[in-house]
């Protein structure tokens, strides 16, 4: 009978162990979260320990005993019949009926307890752990709590400006120490960032920021200078320290140099100056198609909604609208500046603006066109950044004439000449419907079939222009009639009759609409790796909205051709009208507005015009010797010199200082955009130049950095003149990119 009690004890132990595990998971999540915020292992361990103790006091997993276990099993195991407490009582004190019930409960628990889990929340604790780790990682990457990191690590990770002697004979002298280093960054007023004071010598600030350095030494010094990108600037002595102010125009590097009272020169390491650019405003127009068309009776209003954002503040934003009136050589343009419905709040970083553009208020008439875009300025000083959106178009359809014309040098027509024949098909179809009662059935079907062939030819031209002639060249080559009672032979006879009255557009390429391919072209091995402009989905001749309309017009032409081939021109006519409407919209949308530009020749001298005199015309000959431009000549020479120093094939000469100094200047030009990447290499070059780092390890480090900074050459030493497969070349180039 003690077997049932043993099962209760095992379940109770499992309950307690899972309770401790649950507390540990919660505390571990809190500790890792603190580590991501503080970036300090000691802080994380302290938070983990504190959280573990607090959760143990709250959860107290040790409080689970056999009585609580018995109550839990009675509530969750129906077969126990609320009799689990009998297992905890002495057998001698139980009646015969109680002993029988105890035996039954013990047998049931033997098979049931294995499938019952204690009421611990392990899954919830695991989920909380994962969420805390992910949130802590994201916050650390975003730098939202960088101030917390600075507080905990200010003493351990603070970088101080340290100096070394440039004279090797003065190494035994006492090195100077900085007792106070204060760097103040004054951001431009329009950024509203104010001032920032730090001791970190690697400075990152907005372009045109003012940076003040204040250095105070423990011993008297003289002639303190800042060296910045090859220029030297003296520091002014103020009270017990030295100060200098610099304006941050571009990224670069700087260091300090001074002499003590004995004339010994000291220099510091290189530090980076990173200029953060002020980006132009971003403009987004919401829910408006690029082309909008209005009929004469429509309400000619455009609801414009836009979002304008800038990193430091918007100064001005408005709409530039240009109205085009007239046609041909009499076209006229009128430009207007429209303000938004909302007042522009200067200095605001995000603006949601709207504008109701009323075409009637702009005095636009039938056939007029409107071009408009949004222009926005930020508050950058001294010259503002400007951004403009894409140009949007609004057209009032002309109900009288719908012809397309190019206004001399003011429009570019992208549509070829053969894109004007759909109207002629409509005229011929209407004439066929009108002549149907007066012509024979055979002539009617022949003319209808001819129009179907012409419709197909036009569709093939459109498809060829879109680059998908192979996709749409297939068409039904046999036309079956729907007359009842005709057998197959009769259908063939009728088809033979039609061949005598029609041109074979579907065979033999009679009109040379699509050139014949005499032989298949060899498969291009680069086909899968190139952007194919012939592909209809990748064609860039038209923008997406025009391609969609043209694709829809091709689909409608299929239906128009189908009914013409079925001798039902009445059903084909509506599809032809729809195709014509889309074609006209494409023509109007494809017109591009450009400014009038051209070459203005000098005035002709009338006294020498048409005289035929060539006395002043002489032959011109120019001789020039060109030298190969080597922009990184000093860096290449420094790499060569370092190789000899590493192999101990030469000793450091006095002339090598100039080589490494010039190499540092060339590397600094490359490092302007990314100062942190080459900072270590520049410091190594400076140490070699000043005789503070002339070691084999430093030589190797600097040589490796210079080789990585040099541009890759296409010439391969020792290359053989052998055939190289193009796919293999692309593959090797791809590997070099990610090497």
Return the CA Rg of the chain.
43
Q: Which CATH architecture has domain 282-412?
A: Sandwich (2.60)
Q: Please tell me the CATH code under which domain 158-276 is placed.
A: 2.60.40.10
Strand order in the sheet with 241-247: 195-198, 178-186, 210-217, 241-247, 236-238
Question: Taken in order 96, 101, 102, 103, is the CA torsion positive or negative?
Answer: positive
Q: How confident is the model at residue 570, as a pLDDT?
A: 93
How many whole angstroms separate alpha carbon 304 and alpha carbon 356? 6
The two structure tokens encoding residue 85: 């407490």
Beta bridge pairs of residue 231: 228
Residue 695's alpha-carbon distances to 169, 369, 641, 679, in angstroms, are 17, 74, 14, 19
SS (H, E, C) 437-463: HHCCHHHHHHHHHHHHHHHHHHHHHHH
Tally of CB atoms within 10 A around 646: 13
Question: Taken in order 533, 536, 538, 543, is the CA torsion positive or negative?
Answer: positive
Of residues 340, 379, 343, 382, the one with CA closest to residue 357: 340
Report the Cα 738 to chain-centroid distance in Å. 19
Which residues, other chains included, contact 674 with Cβ-Cβ below 8 Å and sequence gap of 6+?
A: 251
Report the Cα 362 to chain-centroid distance in Å. 38
The secondary element (H helix, E strand) that includes residue 315 is: strand 301-325
Work out the pLDDT band at 572, boundaries 50, 70, 90.
very high
Tally of CB atoms within 10 A around 720: 6
Q: Where are the alpha helices (DSSP H) in 600-709?
A: 633-646, 656-670, 679-689, 696-709
How many whole angstroms separate alpha carbon 107 and alpha carbon 96? 17
Q: How confident is the model at residue 567, as a pLDDT?
A: 92
How many whole angstroms separate alpha carbon 305 and alpha carbon 354? 4
pLDDT at 201 over 70: yes
Q: How confident is the model at residue 38, as a pLDDT?
A: 77
| Average pLDDT of the chain, as a whole number | 75
Of residues 278, 204, 276, 272, the one with CA closest to residue 671: 272
Q: How confident is the model at residue 407, as a pLDDT?
A: 43
Give exposure, 650-682, as e/b (b: 16+ Cβ within 10 Å).
eeeeeebeebbbbbbebbbebbbeebeebbebb
pLDDT per position as a tens digit, 122-139: 888 888 888 888 888 888
The two structure tokens encoding residue 199: 């001791």
Q: Where are the alpha helices (DSSP H) in 467-596?
A: 469-472, 488-500, 544-565, 569-589
Q: How confident is the model at residue 9, as a pLDDT?
A: 67
Q: Mean pLDDT lowest for which of 48-57, 327-336, 370-379, 477-486?
A: 477-486
How many whole angstroms separate alpha carbon 21 and alpha carbon 92? 39
pLDDT at 715 over 80: no
Largest separation between any pair of C-alpha atoms in the chain: 144
pLDDT per position as a tens digit, 15-44: 778 888 888 888 888 888 888 887 778 888
Q: Mean pLDDT lowest for which of 239-248, 384-393, 641-650?
A: 641-650
Tokens 């074609």 found at? 583
The two structure tokens encoding residue 134: 């992910």
Q: How confident is the model at residue 482, as a pLDDT?
A: 43
Q: How confident is the model at residue 304, as a pLDDT?
A: 93
Same fold, 158-276 and 282-412: yes
Backbone φ and ψ of 294, nearest 5°: -125, 140
Give exposure, 259-270, as e/b (b: 16+ Cβ within 10 Å).
ebeeeeebbbbb
How many whole angstroms separate alpha carbon 208 and alpha carbon 193? 13
Q: How confident is the model at residue 70, as a pLDDT?
A: 65
pLDDT above 90: percentage of residues in the chain: 19
Q: How confident is the model at residue 222, as a pLDDT?
A: 79
The secondary element (H helix, E strand) that includes residue 89 is: none
Residue 117's alpha-carbon distances to 4, 8, 9, 64, 126, in angstroms, are 17, 13, 14, 14, 17
Backbone φ and ψ of 41, nearest 5°: -70, -35
Q: Are 321 and 371 in contact (CB under 8 A)?
A: yes
How many whole angstroms separate alpha carbon 6 and alpha carbon 28? 33
Q: Domain segments of the chain: what residues?
A: 2-142, 158-276, 282-412, 414-477+535-590, 633-709
Question: Taken in order 216, 217, 220, 225, is the CA torsion positive or negative?
Answer: negative
What three-state secondary structure class fits 478? coil
Q: Are 570 and 444 in contact (CB under 8 A)?
A: no
pLDDT at 569 over 80: yes
pLDDT per position as a tens digit, 385-401: 999 999 999 988 876 54
Q: How confident is the model at residue 337, as a pLDDT?
A: 92
Q: How confident is the model at residue 210, as a pLDDT?
A: 94
Q: How confident is the model at residue 212, as a pLDDT?
A: 94
The two structure tokens encoding residue 178: 């900085």
Query: Span 513-540, mean pLDDT?
Result: 46
pLDDT per position as a tens digit, 85-98: 555 555 555 555 55
Question: Does residue 180 have a cis bond before it (omega within 30 degrees)?
Answer: no
Question: Does residue 242 have a cis bond before it (omega within 30 degrees)?
Answer: no
Residue with the larger pLDDT of the pair 405 and 548: 548
- 301-325/369-378 β-pairing: antiparallel
How many whole angstroms separate alpha carbon 467 and alpha carbon 548? 14
């Amino acid at each position: 009978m003690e077997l049932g009690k043993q099962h209760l004890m095992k379940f109770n132990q499992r309950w307690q162990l899972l309770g401790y595990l649950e507390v540990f998971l919660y505390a571990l999540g809190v500790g890792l979260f603190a580590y991501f915020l503080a970036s300090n292992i000691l802080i994380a361990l302290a938070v983990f320990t504190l959280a573990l103790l607090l959760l143990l006091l709250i959860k107290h997993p040790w409080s689970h005993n056999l009585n609580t276990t018995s109550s839990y099993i009675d509530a969750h195991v129906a077969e126990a019949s609320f009799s689990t407490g009998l297992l905890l009582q002495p057998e001698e004190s139980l009646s015969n009926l109680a002993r029988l019930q105890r035996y039954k409960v013990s047998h049931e628990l033997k098979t049931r307890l294995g499938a019952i889990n204690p009421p611990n929340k392990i899954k919830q604790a695991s989920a909380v752990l994962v969420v805390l780790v992910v949130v802590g990682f994201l916050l650390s990457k975003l730098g939202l709590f960088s101030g917390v990191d600075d507080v905990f690590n200010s003493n351990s990770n603070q970088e101080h400006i340290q100096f070394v002697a440039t004279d090797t004979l003065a190494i035994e002298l006492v090195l100077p120490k900085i007792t106070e280093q204060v760097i103040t960054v004054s951001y431009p007023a329009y950024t509203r960032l104010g001032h920032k004071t730090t001791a970190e010598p690697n400075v990152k600030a907005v372009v045109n920021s003012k940076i003040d350095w204040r250095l105070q030494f423990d011993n008297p010094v003289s002639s303190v200078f800042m060296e910045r990108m090859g220029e030297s600037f003296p520091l002014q002595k103020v009270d017990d320290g030295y100060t200098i102010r610099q304006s941050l125009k571009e990224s670069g590097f700087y260091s300090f140099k001074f002499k003590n009272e004995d004339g010994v020169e000291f220099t510091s390491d290189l530090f980076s100056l990173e200029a953060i650019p002020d980006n132009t405003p971003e403009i987004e127009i919401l829910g408006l198609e690029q082309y909008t068309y209005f009929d004469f009776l429509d309400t000619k209003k455009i609801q414009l909604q836009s979002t304008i954002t800038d990193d430091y503040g918007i100064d001005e934003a408005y709409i530039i609208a240009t109205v085009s009136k007239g046609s041909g050589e009499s076209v006229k343009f009128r430009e207007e500046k429209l303000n938004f419905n909302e007042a522009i709040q200067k200095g605001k970083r995000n603006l949601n603006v709207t504008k109701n553009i009323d075409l009637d208020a702009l005095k636009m008439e039938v056939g007029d066109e409107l071009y408009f875009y949004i222009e926005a300025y930020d508050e950058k000083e001294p010259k503002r950044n400007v951004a403009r959106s894409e140009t949007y178009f609004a057209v009032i359809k002309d109900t009288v004439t719908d012809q397309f014309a190019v206004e001399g040098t003011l429009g570019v027509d992208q549509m070829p000449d053969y894109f004007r024949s759909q109207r002629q098909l409509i005229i011929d179809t209407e004439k066929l419907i009108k002549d149907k009662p007066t012509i024979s059935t055979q002539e009617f079907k022949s003319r209808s079939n001819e129009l179907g062939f012409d419709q197909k030819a036009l569709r093939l031209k459109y498809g060829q222009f879109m680059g998908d002639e192979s996709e749409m060249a297939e068409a039904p080559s046999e036309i079956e009639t729907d007359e009842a009672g005709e057998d197959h032979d009769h259908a063939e006879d009728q088809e033979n009759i039609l061949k005598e009255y029609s041109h074979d557009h579907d065979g033999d390429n009679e009109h040379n609409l699509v050139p014949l391919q005499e032989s298949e072209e060899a498969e291009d091995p680069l086909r899968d790796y190139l952007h194919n402009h012939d592909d209809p989905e990748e064609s860039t001749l038209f923008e997406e909205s025009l391609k969609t309309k043209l694709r829809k017009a091709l689909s409608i032409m299929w239906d128009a051709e189908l009914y013409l081939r079925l001798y039902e021109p009445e059903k084909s006519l509506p599809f032809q009208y729809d195709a014509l409407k889309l074609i006209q919209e494409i023509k109007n949308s494809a017109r591009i507005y450009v400014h009038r530009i051209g070459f203005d020749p000098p005035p002709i001298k009338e006294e020498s015009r048409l005289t035929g005199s060539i006395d002043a015309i002489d032959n011109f000959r120019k001789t020039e010797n060109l030298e190969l431009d080597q922009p990184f000549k000093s860096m290449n020479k420094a790499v060569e010199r370092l190789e000899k120093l590493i192999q101990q094939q030469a000793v450091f000469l006095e002339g090598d200082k100039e080589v490494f100094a010039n190499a540092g200047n060339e590397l600094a030009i490359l490092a302007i955009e990314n100062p942190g990447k080459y900072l270590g290499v520049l410091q190594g070059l400076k140490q070699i130049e000043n005789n503070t780092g002339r070691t084999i390890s430093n030589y190797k480090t600097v040589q490796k950095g210079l080789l990585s900074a040099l541009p890759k050459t296409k010439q391969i030493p020792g290359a053989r003149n052998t055939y190289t497969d193009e796919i293999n070349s692309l593959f090797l180039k791809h590997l070099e990119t990610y090497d």
